[in-house]
Amino acid sequence: MSLYPSLEDKNVDQIVKAEIGAAQLNSALHSAPVAAALASGGAAAAAAADSPYAGLMAEMSEFDSAFGGLALDQSALAVHMPPDHVSSWLAQYQAAKPVASVTPATDMGIMRAAIRQGVREVVLAKDAAGKLGIAVDAWDKGVFVAFVWKDSAGALGGLRFGDQIVEINNQTVAGWTAKKTLKFLKEADGARVQIAVRDRPFMRTVTTQKDSTNHCGFIFKDGEITDIVKDSSAARNGLMIHHQIVEVNGQSVVGLKDKELLEVVRQSPMTTTVTITPRFVYKHLIKKIGWKRIKGFMDHSIPMDI
């Protein structure tokens, strides 16, 4: 099953595939070998040609006269054969991966915003002050990154807002409180802190295509999506209200003023990928951090760990 960055990509790809399939079917059914065979020897000769119906025609050739001149060429058979027979034959021309797309194959926004499955390892070293530059929050027996200080070891190591920490220095942290986790990090050897992370489990990405006015089709206030423009790319691709925008093309926008966030969206390319999380999840993660700290010191660098 094909995966598409956006609904626009899916529609374009399916249109192109349909055109390619029709052209290939027409070419195969009217190929030079088949035409020559039909001209020289009727249905029996055509059966020898490379055709999806060659075997069937070979079996029927001996009954040619019994059909009273009924057309038995490939085009006629294709019209009356079950669609799944034709479709299975065309499958070799239609690979699972998309053949056409409005999104560049090397789109950096999608790659940087990717929420990967599985666990990745991050190795950090504390700064001169003995800090890693992160704050954590505990929720439902999990420990999550709730704050990443700009230019800190955590930021440089690729930790991101909403990441789940599952292990620190080979110690499983499931069920730990935020206080216990921070104490363990504080006491860890500053030269090497090994952290196992699961990418942002409460978040998802939505890729949109801008229109001619440079709009994706959503309205936000305090970073929360409050409305979706009818028939816009945001609407088509399933963006929802009451969700917080936490990244744009993989870049954290947590703590940005609406004016700053709007500028990030405006400066993004035509294909724009936003990472969102339910508003209540966002509020839970930041409630103990303090809005002043988030606005002044949250990491907003463009991620490079792709």
Domain range annotation of the chain: 7-93, 119-198, 204-297
Backbone angles phi, psi at 166, to 5 degrees: -110, -20
- Phi-psi bin for 233: left (phi > 0), alpha (psi -120 to 50), beta? alpha
Assign 290 a pLDDT band (cuts: 50, 70, 90): confident
* Distance, CA of 126 to CA of 128 (rounded, Å): 7
Which pairs with CB-CB distance under 8 Å and at least 24 residues apart come from 182-186? 182/135, 182/136, 185/132, 185/134, 186/130
Assign 33 a pLDDT band (cuts: 50, 70, 90): low
Q: What would the pLDDT profile of 140-156 be if each residue is shown by its tens digit?
A: 999 999 999 999 999 99
Give pLDDT, residue 106. 87
Assign 303 a pLDDT band (cuts: 50, 70, 90): confident
**Domain made up of 204-297: CATH architecture:** Roll (2.30)
Give pLDDT, residue 305. 59
Q: Which CATH class is domain 119-198?
A: mainly beta
DSSP state of 99: S
pLDDT at 101 over 50: yes
CA atoms within 13 A on the CB side of 295: 8
Higher pLDDT, 104 or 174: 174
Yes or no: say if 49 and 73 are a contact pair by the CB < 8 Å rule: no
Give pLDDT, residue 69. 54
DSSP 49-75: SS-TTHHHHHHHGGGGGGGTT---SHH
Domains 119-198 and 204-297 equal at CATH topology level: yes
Reading the block at residue 11, the tokens are 């529609």
Q: Hey, what amino acid is at 217?
A: G
Assign 74 a pLDDT band (cuts: 50, 70, 90): low
